[in-house]
Structure 1
Amino acid sequence: MAISTAQEKSDAPPPWPILTPSENDEPLPGTEKLTLEGDLSHQLVEANDAFLDAQIAAARESRQAKWKSGSYDADQRREEMATMLGLDRDSRIDDTRFEFYSIQKAQLAVAEGLSIYTVRWQAIDGVNGEGLLLEPEGKKNPTSVDVIAIPDANQTPEELAGLAPNIPSETSPFALLLAQSGCRVLVPSLTNREENQYRMTNREWLHRPAFELGRHLLGYELHQVLAGVDALKNTATKERPLGVVGFGEGGLLSLYAGALDPRIQSVAVSGYFGPREGLWLEPAEHNIFGLLETFGDAEIASLVAPRALVIESGVYPDFVFRPDKNGAPEIIEERPEKAGKPGRFMMPSPQGVASETNRLREIAGADWQPMAVTANHAMNGETLAAFADGLGLETFDPARKPIAFKKVYPDPEGHDHIAERHARQMTAIERHTQRALIQSRQDRQEYFKELKTDTLEDFKKTIELYRDRFRTNVIGEFDLERIAANPRTRRYEEGPKTVSYEVVLDVFDGVIAYGILTLPKDLDLTSGEKRPVVVCQHGLEGTPQDVIGEPKFKAYAAFATRLAERGFITFAPQNGYRYFDLFRLQQFKSQSIGKTLFSLIVPQHLQITDWLAKLPFVDADRIAFYGLSYGGKSAMRIPPLVDRYCLSICAGDFNEWVWKNAATDPKSLRYSYANKGEYEIFEWNLGGTFNYAEMAALICPRPFMVERGHFDGVAPDEAVAYEFAKVRNLYQAQLGLDELCEIEWFPGPHKINGVGTYAFLEKHLGMTK
């Protein structure tokens, strides 16, 4: 009787290794028994979260010591703040002045003693400020002071100028009220928070590439505001006081501008002041790398002293992106519908505002007292009167009503000049980031100018400077000693040739490392034989289980088990990039204190490799790293800082990484993260410091390999080849390390191929099949 093809297939063994639960859960010799139950990957991620919360709280306390009254240099802190905002990356235009460009008339609107003009002014190369200029005119309303009035992101300059009376507003038309009192008022336009076609806000869209390139949307807007200061100064008929006042996002910019520029004599902040420890849950564009290590709102506000400062609280922009059913930003453990980061504009409690104001007074000292106002409607008369008093403006009347306009000139062609202005602003900033992306290669070359490659010894000495910078300025390092590992294990699964153990190690107080150790059955643990280890790293949303057996076999090919079947010891760690918003928001928690997700992952791997090295059957000098996808990202970031890793293999991730994060042109968006849901992926100023070639230099002279499928959608072949060519040049051309750097191209997708890489491991770890 013939056997059918279907029956033959059903009788064939599956392509993945057959693993069954171990009959006992005894620990590995020399370790305690693991008794933790449940989802250990979730417990690890939750422990990371609690640790980060504690570190943010600790940062608040440590700032206090840095800011004891009289113990700091204000100019030095301003410089530090400017660097955090990326203001040092681009120079403002000299001698900027206003260009008047109303379409029909010189004036947009006219009232008694007052005209309003549409203006723009140069800020930095390729980026202008745009908005309205309210100009007092005539003897009855002479100009005595200059003011920049900054709206919230979801307001227009026209609202502040009283030209949009039918639009409900959270504020008074405070630019108009100040202009009626003799102030020449400049009202800049900001990028709004509307959701775009990429399922994120316009502001996050601009923030993402800017952040990767060492810039900030807030930095661009501060350039526009400070260039507005320049333009007002350059066009004043005589020296006169200048103040900055703003609400919501404009309040943030007013506070920051006042702190950075001593030419600003009076500052009023409405709808933005309070404790900043929840920065991680604010909109993405508020994310400033390392801010909370040195600055909270109190510390920034103290840089305004001894000038006038008014803080108005009580009314805030009501904005939440991705709200849950209760109106709070949603934090879910599955893929959301929208690509943007969940976040809300902070609305601090009255107690929180009072606490931060008290901290401000402690920092600045008793000789300077900012004025605090509580309001039911933003920019009320008391706030504006106090602001005007700081400018010496005696003509401001808090009871004055907005003036009626005699004439408002429409656009005869029916253009929506507000929408067109907004589009111009967004386009200019996006174009600037794309020019910065092109320039970033030269920036990295300049950054690496102290690296010497004349000899291998010169290279080894000079690369350490960059390793320290990578550890401190890019990845971030907690100033903590690891605690004893206290290894706990239990027997997990068995195959025909392998046996595995679950392993949990302590790292920091409350922080653990977790993974699966797989041993070849032909290894006698008591014989004294020492074998190499391959650490096999899962990708995004993965677990150790994914890389050892049937789960996710299509991508991972059970490579941790297959390598153990070839005689290697393998260890599959759990990295913390799992559970969607839960881990992604941990990146923002980390970045707020100058750290990243890898600030915890690296010490976890230090603990893992130290423990592996002490096992009597492990060759401590032959511990390799091999990761796919987010595990490939790990292959570029962990081995540079874990010297026990003797080689690294990056699979399914190697790339022109800065381009992949920062490119916004339509063709690049097929690959770029700029419009994707991985909102945590962006790392501060990689464009000016470390692309993947520079990270690979930190692995050199250890063996390094890339595993690349031609049909892997992470990048086109040419982007991978372009970046790899620089690595190959370093190893082979400059240092003569001919056999230590390889790439395997295979006709496949995003997966472990396990051909050239297995040969690479066997060659460099001294193993044969």
Structure 2
Amino acid sequence: MRRICLFWAYLLIGSAAAAFQKDETDTVSYKFTAMPPVMPGTNPLTWEGDVSARMLDEAHLFIDKKLDEAESQRAQYWKRDFSSTASYRASIEPNRKRLMARLGVEDSSEPPVNYNTGWEDKRPGAAMDKIAAVGDSIVIAETGKYVIYQVRWPVLNRVTGVGLLIQPKGKTVACVIAIPDADQSPEQFVGLAPGVPPESQFARHLAENGFTVLVPLLISRNLLFPGTTKQQTFRERIYRQSFHMGRHIIGYEVEKIRSAVDYFKESLPAGTKIGVAGYGEGGLLALYSSAIDSRIDATFVSGYFDTHKNAWDEPLYRNVFGGFSEFGDAELATLIAPRPLVIEYSNIQAIRDEVAAWARQPSQLNGFPFTGYKGQLRTPAFASVSAEYHRLEELVPPGFQTRYLIAGEKDEPLPFGSTKALTRLAAVLGFSSPIIASDKIPTDHRRFVDVAGRQQQQAKELEDHVQWLMRVSDDERNAFFLHRAMPEWPTKSWSSRLYHAYQSPEKFIEATKEYRRYFLEEILGRFEDDMLAPHAKTRKKYDRERWTGYEVELEVYPHLFAAGILLIPKDLQPGEKRPVVVTQHGRSGIPQQLVEGNHSAYNDVAARLADQGFIVYAPYNPYRGEDRYRWLDRKANALGKTLFSFIISQHEQTLKWLSDLAFVDAKRIGFYGISYGGEAAMRLPAVLEGYSLSICSGDFGDWTRKVTDAYYKGSFINTPEWEMSYFNMGNTFSYAEMAYLIFPRPFMVERGHDDLVQPDAWVAYEFAKVKYLYDQFNLGDKTYIEYFNGGHSMKSEGSFAFLHEHLNWP
């Protein structure tokens, strides 16, 4: 390949040398013969059409294949030992801990997180209060068999659970936490309010048969901002901000269930068994809670258990980062084993989460419609549920776990909470008689129940908890990275640090290697596939006075390719190697906008750099197509990957190909990106050391606040851009930490005062941390921020000077 590229370089330069002459002013001008239509050493690029659309189509095929293969590859994560119950529990404990981490559930075996605020973020202990409004009785309903109370219990700092507690008037047989679907209130689940058919009010049915029952309130699917492009449900709202902070709406509600288990373990007579039973979203929570908490003695799942082959197509708030790689429902059931499991095949409410049509039409960009579609729920076929259930036979030996799959006649779905299924649950909890459901409906004695206000209060508690995590995240990131990489920094006295700078950065650079791996593999996600040879295809696109431009396409993996436009100056000399500037467009952009058209954000920056003698490469990136690229990210999330997993592989291949060109100096390849390309300017050079410098334009700032701050109107949780959260990035990496991974390479920020992406103050604060690091090693001249009067734009003056200086050109 290198010999081919050398031949081509000398061919071009030779033709140039033969053609130049002196004009009348005695200055040298270069007049070239026609450049070849295809770069020598490459194949002709003949495909016509929208490259970005094709790139997304191919990338979807690539990730779809990986999703299809995921189930068969889960075994690599499991080392089950069935030699004894104790050995089995020990063998699955690593899987349980990984599940807890993916859901943001606190591990009580580890020291609690302490943010130096005087508060510990852990469950505060067993307690449950019976509550009533002034003038109301503490008993809200009563029959001859049970009494119903409204209760509240502590869960985490600033977080409580609320619900209804039903206590039988006789001896308690066992305790069941009965979890409704997200759109069902506790009152509906016990018959105090309409909405759940009497035959499915299984919380009431269990209480009638001597069970103590707790019915918790779940965060609902009610819409916030209905009819707007930022439409989202309560569940999505909590999911989007908590995901970035290493938490999850599922995890929060599992914590509520675990806190209730704490209470029942202490308050009920010793030996009383505890079960969880849930329907719909409650079925999901019953499965996850029992998989995590081994104190739960039996599990009942209705309207959830399935293969979830299209888990990525379920509502956004069910997205568990990397969950599909390791945990199908059968694998979760093995975390419950050897405890008993009852699965009921029932109908579920059909849901399609999508922004209203009238609200989405104005948001069409470049021909790609924005529908705001975020997933759906529907009753699966029995064959799918049965297939997942019978997979357990491959994972757990016969007799190791008592389990049942209950369906109706001819395998039709049952009404949820059927007496047939409840009888099975009661039996494994020690109740030998069949469950008998009465038709006596209790009456609510409260004068007024503010259902909407209670829902908002519960959602606000979770939002406040996330906002608190966000506010202390700066210290958390320092503790995670900077203070570990340079542990003497926080311990040095101010007097000893005065005028002090470290003489050599090698220690810090060595320490960053593990953080670079963590950022790449745990936060962004990396494909481990063997990369194909690039098999470059090219065609001439531009022929300007000072440079020639070629469209380029490179193979990366089967069904994943990289593409862009390469601008080559015409004044290259034989044997000369020049620096390259990779210029990256923003969201919904294409490389041509960096070359021509005088787009207000780009100002023809690629063409102007080529005019100044740089080799320039402008890549396509797959963040174009609105819903299309967001769903690529969502599919990737299921496997512990992100949109940047694709982009990293594309740029890794691009760097290899550029470095092999004879006229390119591989040690002088810089990156300059704006907006979404500015995101790339932070993430790609942080993990790809082939980039010798980076300039972030129109994106730099406090990324954690940009994603999660509920009180900033420009935050991503207030926009349709739901893919911007990265699981647990808020506690590990913001833009300063990414710049630490770029260090000691030159790094610059370009910032328009009127850019609405983030406030100036956030940008200045985050850059101050970067500048401080470079100054500590007497390398402050390698980092720079340029402010200018203007908005979201590549102003370029300071950036061009920075490129010339640090890429040593000319």
What's the offset of the Cα at 1:214?
A: 0.5
- C-alpha separation between the residues in 1 aligned to 2:542 and 2:681? 27
Within the candidate set 57, 61, 68, 1:50 is matched to 61
1:574 alignment counterpart? 620
1:432 alignment counterpart? 465
Which has the larger displacement, 363-372 or 717-726? 363-372
- C-alpha separation between the residues in 2 aligned to 1:456 and 1:408? 69
Residue 78 in 1 paired to residue 96 in 2? yes
Helix, strand or coil at the partner of 1:638? helix
What's the offset of the Cα at 1:651?
A: 0.3
Q: TM-score, normalised by structure 2?
A: 0.87
| Residue 170 to residue 105, structure 1, CA distance change in 2 (3 Å) | closer
* Residues 227-275 of structure 1, C-alpha deviations (whole Å, 9 max, x = no match): 1111122221443011000000000000011111111111000000111
Residue 384 in 1 paired to residue 427 in 2? no
What's the offset of the Cα at 1:78?
A: 1.2
Within the candidate set 539, 543, 561, 2:586 is matched to 539
- Kindly provide the amino acid, as one letter, of the partner of residue 509 in structure 1: P
- C-alpha separation between the residues in 2 aligned to 1:75 and 1:402? 44
**Aligned partners of 1:68 and 1:363 also within 8 Å:** no
- Kindly provide the amino acid, as one letter, of the partner of residue 787 in structure 2: W
**Aligned partners of 1:78 and 1:303 also within 8 Å:** yes
* Residues 540-585 of structure 1, C-alpha deviations (whole Å, 9 max, x = no match): 01111111100x6111001111100010010000111110111101
**Aligned partners of 1:152 and 1:317 also within 8 Å:** no
Helix, strand or coil at the partner of 1:766? coil
What's the offset of the Cα at 1:419?
A: 2.0
Within the candidate set 309, 331, 335, 1:299 is matched to 331
What's the offset of the Cα at 1:688?
A: 1.0
Helix, strand or coil at the partner of 1:371? strand
- Kindly provide the amino acid, as one letter, of the partner of residue 343 in structure 1: G
Q: How does 1:82-481 map to 2 (within 5 A)?
A: 82-88=100-106, 91-103=121-133, 104-137=136-169, 141-164=170-193, 166-169=194-197, 172-197=200-225, 198-322=230-354, 342-345=374-377, 347-367=379-399, 368-374=401-407, 375-398=413-436, 400-405=437-442, 407-411=443-447, 414=448, 416-448=449-481, 449-452=483-486, 454=502, 455-481=504-530
2:677 alignment counterpart? 631
Helix, strand or coil at the partner of 2:781? coil
Which has the larger displacement, 444-453 or 461-470? 444-453
Q: How does 1:683-762 map to 2 (within 5 A)?
A: 683-732=726-775, 734-762=776-804
Helix, strand or coil at the partner of 1:76? helix
**Aligned partners of 1:99 and 1:120 also within 8 Å:** yes
2:557 alignment counterpart? 508
- C-alpha separation between the residues in 1 aligned to 2:312 and 2:435? 40
- Kindly provide the amino acid, as one letter, of the partner of residue 261 in structure 2: V
- C-alpha separation between the residues in 1 aligned to 2:284 and 2:441? 30
What's the offset of the Cα at 1:395?
A: 4.1
What's the offset of the Cα at 1:294?
A: 1.1
**Aligned partners of 1:486 and 1:506 also within 8 Å:** yes
Structure 2 unaligned segments of length 5 or more: list them: 1-32, 83-87, 107-112, 114-119, 358-362, 408-412, 490-501
Within the candidate set 716, 719, 722, 1:679 is matched to 722
| Residue 346 to residue 296, structure 1, CA distance change in 2 (3 Å) | farther
Which has the larger displacement, 438-447 or 247-256? 438-447
- Kindly provide the amino acid, as one letter, of the partner of residue 621 in structure 1: K
What's the offset of the Cα at 1:170?
A: 9.7
| Residue 106 to residue 336, structure 1, CA distance change in 2 (3 Å) | farther
**Aligned partners of 2:512 and 2:741 also within 8 Å:** yes
- C-alpha separation between the residues in 1 aligned to 2:416 and 2:255? 25
Residue 41 in 1 paired to residue 52 in 2? yes
**Aligned partners of 1:92 and 1:223 also within 8 Å:** no
**Aligned partners of 2:231 and 2:355 also within 8 Å:** no
1:662 alignment counterpart? 708
What's the offset of the Cα at 1:184?
A: 0.5
* Residues 16-45 of structure 1, C-alpha deviations (whole Å, 9 max, x = no match): xxxxxx998721122111122211221111
* Residues 415-442 of structure 1, C-alpha deviations (whole Å, 9 max, x = no match): x332222121011101100111112112
- C-alpha separation between the residues in 1 aligned to 2:333 and 2:218? 22
- Kindly provide the amino acid, as one letter, of the partner of residue 694 in structure 1: E
* Residues 141-161 of structure 1, C-alpha deviations (whole Å, 9 max, x = no match): 321211100000000001111
What's the offset of the Cα at 1:463?
A: 0.9
For these two proteins, the number of residue pairs brought into alignment is 725
- C-alpha separation between the residues in 2 aligned to 1:583 and 1:60? 24
- C-alpha separation between the residues in 2 aligned to 1:240 and 1:599? 49
Q: TM-score, normalised by structure 1?
A: 0.91
Residue 653 in 1 paired to residue 699 in 2? yes
| Residue 58 to residue 388, structure 1, CA distance change in 2 (3 Å) | same
What's the offset of the Cα at 1:359?
A: 1.2
Helix, strand or coil at the partner of 2:654? helix
Structure 1 unaligned segments of length 5 or more: list them: 1-21, 326-330
What's the offset of the Cα at 1:69?
A: 5.2
**Aligned partners of 2:527 and 2:649 also within 8 Å:** no
| Residue 25 to residue 597, structure 1, CA distance change in 2 (3 Å) | farther
Helix, strand or coil at the partner of 2:616? strand
- Kindly provide the amino acid, as one letter, of the partner of residue 607 in structure 2: T
What's the offset of the Cα at 1:358?
A: 1.4
- C-alpha separation between the residues in 2 aligned to 1:251 and 1:357? 15
1:557 alignment counterpart? 603
- C-alpha separation between the residues in 2 aligned to 1:420 and 1:231? 26
- Kindly provide the amino acid, as one letter, of the partner of residue 161 in structure 1: V
- Kindly provide the amino acid, as one letter, of the partner of residue 450 in structure 1: R
- C-alpha separation between the residues in 2 aligned to 1:766 and 1:323? 50
- C-alpha separation between the residues in 2 aligned to 1:379 and 1:470? 45
1:529 alignment counterpart? 576
Helix, strand or coil at the partner of 1:408? coil
- C-alpha separation between the residues in 2 aligned to 1:240 and 1:332? 58
- C-alpha separation between the residues in 2 aligned to 1:534 and 1:323? 40
1:621 alignment counterpart? 667
| Residue 171 to residue 608, structure 1, CA distance change in 2 (3 Å) | farther
**Aligned partners of 1:265 and 1:391 also within 8 Å:** yes
- C-alpha separation between the residues in 2 aligned to 1:604 and 1:129? 46
**Aligned partners of 2:35 and 2:548 also within 8 Å:** no
What's the offset of the Cα at 1:92?
A: 3.9
* Residues 681-722 of structure 1, C-alpha deviations (whole Å, 9 max, x = no match): 110111110010000001010000000000001011001001
- C-alpha separation between the residues in 2 aligned to 1:576 and 1:360? 38
1:60 alignment counterpart? 71
**Aligned partners of 1:67 and 1:299 also within 8 Å:** no
Which has the larger displacement, 299-308 or 248-257? 299-308
- C-alpha separation between the residues in 2 aligned to 1:304 and 1:314? 21
- Kindly provide the amino acid, as one letter, of the partner of residue 391 in structure 1: L
What's the offset of the Cα at 1:723?
A: 0.5
